[in-house]
Structure 1
Amino acid sequence: MQRRILALSALATAMGMAIGSAHAQGDSFPNKPITLIVPYGPGGVTDVIARALGLGMGKTLGQTVVVENKAGAAGAMGVVDMLTAKADGYRLTLAPVGIFRQPYIQKVSYDPVRDLTYIASFMTYDFILTVPANSPIQTLQDYVAWAKKHPGEMDYGTPGKFTANHVAMALLEKKTGITLNHAPFKGDADAINALSGNHIKSAIFANSILPMVQSGKVRALATAADKRPAAFAEVPTFLEAGYGFDVPSPLGIAGPKGMPQEVVQKLDAAIKAAMDDPAFRQVIANYGIRTDYRDHKAYAAFAKQAFAQEKDIVQGIGLE
């Protein structure tokens, strides 16, 4: 009996120390620089925005947020990194929506719901279908009509297979009955060069295409947004055209599973504050990016919903 009492006492003490340690960690966090993984190469739109957000977060947290680029695996390198990172809040990653799609397309080492702690989302990408400025196609209706008359001859560029860009065009094919020719590139830059050089007839980009649209070098036909983004106010959505779909693409920050709640809340608050920082708002304005804030609870709920929905999308449009 005495041994049992001693054992229970030891267990209670250990639990108390663990709880106390977690609270202490939350109270002192952060006391050193934080690493934020950007799962794309340096210099791109996502990289630039992440660095601006990190600077804003640092003002609230009192520590530097260091960006580490880890490109590859269709934007999932950061998530893979989280599998072995300590759950202390000092190593985080951007979490693009593609991580919810990849497990249904190929074998991956992670579960996007089970293996991550979702902290907050801060922006959303829009996807814009474009043609060269000298193309005879003026509208989305022209595009669909031409593709129906020439099955398989309308090619379109994307920054890669199974990206949200690819999904948007696969949905357009399904909704209209047209057959297109997918031309995946290594990234937006290569696809933009191919489109502007008339090597492909069309391409669908995220907001990185905005300067080309503004300069008149390419023509925007439609966006896959739920409503017209301010930066593309003159461009109709696929929804408006009657094709019944949009492709949401919120981007946020996640960490390893099991992060202390106090740390998650501090990081969440820092992200929200950074979104109001003038330098960050200027950067997103430069690219026509829409802010899209979800706190840690709403972002975790979104992750569960997105993971379930992606299975239906992938199966429905035949991307397996």
Structure 2
Amino acid sequence: MNKRQLLHGLSAAALSLCGALPVMAGEWPERPIRLIVPYPAGGLTDIVSRLLSDELGRILGTSIVVDNRPGAGGQIGLQSLLQAPKDGYTVALVVPATMVTLPLTNPNYKIKPLEQFEPITIAVDTFLTLVVNQKLGVKTLKDFTDYARKHPGKLNYGIPGTGTSFHFNNVMMMQKLGIQAQHVPYAGEVQILNDIAGGQLQYALVSGAGKAFIDNGQVTALAVTSNQRVRSLPDVPTFKEAGVKFASDGWVGYVAAKGTPAPIMAKLNDAFVRALKSPAVQQKLSDMGYQVVGNQPDQFHKIVQESTKRYSDLLKSGAVRLD
């Protein structure tokens, strides 16, 4: 073999090897990225994702296409993620329900989050607000706790579905306060709020859906589960301020499929965190009452692990009953 043939053979081998390697993170992305939201348009998850998408696209130099794929408790959208190529061009939104509660409580939920997903980051911590029927005559968390302790088992609270994160958070709150009450499952939060306002229910932990009822004086807000007061409810103290160490498990996060190349995962995390930390995005999320997180994948993974252990223990102990 002469020198020219040898060089030609080496060049061909190098080209063949390059074709077998995944696209390097430095060259990625070369086309739009699909962000699957496994819930309908217009809700919290959709709003946060669309708010992030413009800044995320600017940082990555491509467009972010938000794709709403609701159904089966988020399973339809997340299965779409798992069926897509593991190249970073498809990512998805997740919440505690899809990462923690459904795998523990629903035998028809076939996704194994910690085995099938690569965490990117938690975008925001959400919060719940303890609201009560005005006829209870309580104005503070201490008043409510004293009333509940004097009437053990006599209070009813609403949850949007048995075994949901709302259910687990209510049980954890009761344990912290040392009270007993009975859960009543509903199809959604609006009916819960209507029944509290009407006196059929005594209390509930509710999401942002409660703000209109609070502002209209239909229910009384006693405390929020966030680590600091929220801008949308500035007059409502945190549980911590009221002397109770309780914060709900609530967040919005993003994942890719397991097997996505590590350099691409690093670039996704960097882009999401930078987008979340941008002043415009931070301001809008803060105005909505949410605390920006933007953590690292290992921190996200640990949070899911710890919540799964905590909720599993509540189920095993019988504190949370699914019947």
TM-score range, shorter chain: 0.7 to 0.9
Instruction: Identify the residue that residue 40 of structure 1 maps to in structure 2.
Output: 39
Q: Using a 3 Å threshold, how does the CA distance of structure 1 residues 72 and 204 change in structure 2: closer, same or farther?
A: farther
Counting matched residue pairs gives: 308
Deviation string, structure 1 residues 146-196 (Cα, Å, up to 9, x no partner): 334444442222333323222121123334453323233333344334444
Instruction: Identify the residue that residue 200 of structure 1 maps to in structure 2.
Output: 201
Cα deviation, residue 261, structure 1: 1.3
- Distance in 2, matches of 1:29 and 1:14, equals 24
Q: Using a 3 Å threshold, how does the CA distance of structure 1 residues 15 and 161 change in structure 2: closer, same or farther?
A: farther
Instruction: Identify the residue that residue 59 of structure 1 maps to in structure 2.
Output: 58
- Distance in 1, matches of 2:21 and 2:154, equals 60
TM-score (normalizing by structure 2)? 0.81
Instruction: Identify the residue that residue 82 of structure 2 maps to in structure 1.
Output: 83
Instruction: Identify the residue that residue 318 of structure 1 maps to in structure 2.
Output: 320
Name the stretch that deviates more: 266-275 or 183-192: 183-192
- Distance in 1, matches of 2:104 and 2:13, equals 41
Instruction: Identify the residue that residue 8 of structure 2 maps to in structure 1.
Output: none
Larger radius of gyration between Structure 1 and Structure 2: 2
Cα deviation, residue 252, structure 1: 1.2
Name the stretch that deviates more: 298-307 or 42-51: 298-307
- Distance in 2, matches of 1:274 and 1:235, equals 29
Instruction: Identify the residue that residue 105 of structure 1 maps to in structure 2.
Output: 105
Cα deviation, residue 133, structure 1: 5.0
Q: Using a 3 Å threshold, how does the CA distance of structure 1 residues 132 and 296 change in structure 2: closer, same or farther?
A: same
**Residue pair 1:83, 1:110 contacting (<8 A) in 2 also:** no
| Within-5 A mapping of 1:1-320 | 21-98=20-97, 99-107=99-107, 108-132=109-133, 135-214=136-215, 216-229=217-230, 231-232=232-233, 234-241=235-242, 243-316=244-317, 317-319=319-321
Instruction: Identify the residue that residue 6 of structure 1 maps to in structure 2.
Output: none
**Residue pair 1:140, 1:221 contacting (<8 A) in 2 also:** yes
Q: Using a 3 Å threshold, how does the CA distance of structure 1 residues 224 and 41 change in structure 2: closer, same or farther?
A: same
Cα deviation, residue 124, structure 1: 0.5
Cα deviation, residue 259, structure 1: 0.5
- Distance in 1, matches of 2:200 and 2:266, equals 49
- Distance in 2, matches of 1:228 and 1:14, equals 62
**Residue pair 2:45, 2:252 contacting (<8 A) in 1 also:** no
**Residue pair 2:36, 2:81 contacting (<8 A) in 1 also:** no
- Distance in 1, matches of 2:254 and 2:13, equals 32
- The one-letter amino acid paired with 2:127 is D
Name the stretch that deviates more: 256-265 or 84-93: 84-93
Name the stretch that deviates more: 292-301 or 150-159: 150-159
Where does the alignment leave 5 or more consecutive residues of structure 1 unmatched? 1-12
Cα deviation, residue 282, structure 1: 4.0
Instruction: Identify the residue that residue 9 of structure 1 maps to in structure 2.
Output: none
- The one-letter amino acid paired with 2:289 is G
Deviation string, structure 1 residues 268-293 (Cα, Å, up to 9, x no partner): 12212221345533431332111111
Cα deviation, residue 131, structure 1: 1.9
- The one-letter amino acid paired with 2:55 is G
**Residue pair 1:172, 1:243 contacting (<8 A) in 2 also:** no
**Residue pair 1:131, 1:195 contacting (<8 A) in 2 also:** yes
Cα deviation, residue 222, structure 1: 2.0
- The one-letter amino acid paired with 2:255 is A
- Distance in 2, matches of 1:217 and 1:172, equals 23
Deviation string, structure 1 residues 38-86 (Cα, Å, up to 9, x no partner): 2322211222111101222111122222222233444454434333232
Sequence identity, in percent? 28
**Residue pair 1:52, 1:279 contacting (<8 A) in 2 also:** no
- Distance in 2, matches of 1:16 and 1:188, equals 58
Q: Name the SS of the counterpart of 2:162 in structure 1.
A: coil
Q: Name the SS of the counterpart of 1:143 in structure 2.
A: helix
Name the stretch that deviates more: 25-34 or 49-58: 25-34
Q: Name the SS of the counterpart of 2:62 in structure 1.
A: coil
- Distance in 1, matches of 2:229 and 2:154, equals 29
**Residue pair 1:45, 1:208 contacting (<8 A) in 2 also:** no
**Residue pair 2:33, 2:88 contacting (<8 A) in 1 also:** yes
- The one-letter amino acid paired with 1:178 is I
RMSD across aligned positions (CA): 3.1
- Distance in 1, matches of 2:262 and 2:303, equals 18
